[in-house]
A and B are shown apart, each in its own frame.
Chain A
């Protein structure tokens, strides 16, 4: 029996969330290609350099916030309901948070798109990093606030399902998928406090004219309080897939459930007190606290390295179950023709490269070499742009049939799609990293500057630009192939079996091999809050004590 037959109301919510997510992916991805071609001077016929910033903002907001969060909401709704075998606690409440998120996202997106129409009164060319002094129309902040509250309420749904299950199973360990969803949301609740305060108490009143100025340093700090953990909000659903589904797709079982729990708890406690590593060049923050942020960031490598070990060990186990032999020969036994597997595995491989470039970003001194250069988008296109996006796309090949009840269509297209993404991202990200080493700045529409000669270590700037352009075209082609498969599957009539086995086997080392304190969320939340206070308490206090609105900046409204 497929998931849609077991839980039709849950499957419907998953479909709705995924559909919005895929819509955001299409528009945001198109913007990404336009942006890359314009910025590199490969083709500048889509937009002018003023509208470039509308495209840039749309690309960031649609993909980094809406594509990721709607997919996460669908994935966790499926995972929590499946692993607990629980229905939605209250269908009206579920529709409520979905409607709130969708309405907020629509309002914010329309405000951004208003930048293309000169006669529109609302605009928001403030980039994904929407802190002061760039100011958007109030509707942008209202939309974001609604979206954020909706995401909080979605987590409440999953906690209510867990509570219902826990009453019936007081002595059982929390199922791993639910454990991962709940720790992700606990991290989200803590980290989004920063952006909630920033939007509600500063940016929204400022955009409405209620207050004349805001303190840019304070609002930037509040943004980055949320701005780095949001990276883990994107990544933790990918980890959820790598830990709980990828081993099964490899033909085996998860190597260690306890290690997976430790990894998610480390993300819960370490994701937030690291935001200052985005502000190494900001004045007004003592270096000592930047050093604390750097140390915490380096500690965050630990869960990623644990994941690399556990997931690869699980894949090896699966390959050996399929007859694989030898030190490396087992790799040939993996199902590289299954796009759900190949995409997730390639995404994990590329995430390793993203981890290494992330270490450069995190180091206080070496960060100065690459700060605000194209190295940074090169890095996050490996993390959110591949580890997250490619994992989401590939696992949809496995999940979409289960929530639609329809057999996957255009299978050959699906089989090729992850590889096209992988090659496209290699070309684009490699060139962005090399451009960053040459000092080429990010966040600008213009590719050239008077009296500046970017000295590349390998190749020329022209070659880098061409490489970025080709990569962007391949990425959009891959994205389009994915959406064709999803749309084709959705539109086909439901008949016969879906040819997907939704069963997830038990781990080799189960939850009972770990101490029960791992499931005590209160302990870890308290620890996370203590670390946040240590990292942020004194610097934030000093920013507020000298006046929360001073030194103040009037708005800079992009025209």
Chain B
């Protein structure tokens, strides 16, 4: 086999790989998008049962016991991709405060952005924060950040769920 023939075969192989990959990858990406959208629209998402999640590290009566505010974990549920966490927040301090949940990190390590925050809660008042996230398909929440803020100073704790 001559050098030019070897070169010709090599070139043909490169072209096959280029055309196959160069056009195949885009077709795969767009097909996955289309099928995913069809499944989302017509695949009956949201029909599954809700799963109740428990905190792995004991939340006790006060999630952030070092703050004068009281943050009480109510419940966390997951139905398909929707993850909902509820926390009762009572401002037992003497300054206006807010409480926030998020972001969430899944069991697979994917960070799901979005911080859900209460309105400012005056001293003596209470509220319930109901926070929702849309998780990646097939994943479950592993942790969520809980944060109380008073006068711009924040106290944070990572809540872990039992997987």
List chain A positions with a Cβ less than 8 A from chain B: 336-337, 342, 346, 412, 415-416, 418-420, 422-423, 426-427, 430, 434, 447-463
Q: How would residues 30 to 44 of chain B score, 1 for a CB under 8 Å from any chain A CB and 0 otherwise? A: 101100110011000
Q: List 5 A-B contacts (CB under 8 A).
A: A434-B33, A448-B113, A456-B134, A458-B40, A460-B112
* Chain A proximity of B93: nearest CB distance (Å): 21
A422–B111 alpha-carbon span in the complex (Å): 29
Contacts A426-B26, A434-B33: A453 and B133 contacting too (C-beta < 8 A)?
Answer: yes
Partner of B111, one of A426, A449, A457, A462: A462
The residues of A that contact B40 with a CB separation of less than 8 Å are 457-458
Partner of A451, one of B21, B110, B116: B116
Please determine whether B33 and A452 come into contact, CB atoms closer than 8 angstroms.
no
Please determine whether A458 and B32 come into contact, CB atoms closer than 8 angstroms.
yes
* Chain B proximity of A395: nearest CB distance (Å): 18
- Comparing B12-20, B58-66, B154-162, the segment that makes contact with chain A is B12-20
Partner of B100, one of A336, A450, A460: A450
Residue tally, chain B, CB below 8 Å to A: 34
Instruction: Add 20 more A-B contacts to A423-B25, A462-B112 (CB < 8 A).
Output: A336-B18, A337-B11, A342-B18, A415-B18, A416-B14, A416-B18, A423-B21, A426-B30, A430-B33, A448-B113, A450-B100, A450-B117, A453-B116, A453-B132, A454-B113, A457-B37, A457-B40, A458-B37, A458-B40, A462-B111
Partner of B36, one of A336, A346, A458: A458
Q: How would residues 88 to 110 of chain B score, 1 for a CB under 8 Å from any chain A CB and 0 otherwise? A: 00000000000010010000001
The residues of A that contact B132 with a CB separation of less than 8 Å are 453
Q: Name the residue of chain A whose CB is nearest to the CB of B137.
A: A459
Partner of A426, one of B25, B100, B133, B134: B25
How many Cβ-Cβ contacts under 8 Å join chain A to chain B? 88
Q: Name the residue of chain B whose CB is nearest to the CB of A458.
A: B36
* Chain A proximity of B22: nearest CB distance (Å): 3
A419–B20 alpha-carbon span in the complex (Å): 10
Q: Indicate whether B68 reaches chain A with its CB closer than 8 angstroms.
A: no
Contacts A336-B15, A412-B14, A426-B30: A462 and B25 contacting too (C-beta < 8 A)?
Answer: no
Q: Indicate whether B29 reaches chain A with its CB closer than 8 angstroms.
A: yes
The residues of B that contact A434 with a CB separation of less than 8 Å are 33
Q: Indicate whether B114 reaches chain A with its CB closer than 8 angstroms.
A: yes
Please determine whether A450 and B115 come into contact, CB atoms closer than 8 angstroms.
yes
Please determine whether A419 and B111 come into contact, CB atoms closer than 8 angstroms.
no
Q: Name the residue of chain B whose CB is nearest to the CB of A420.
A: B22
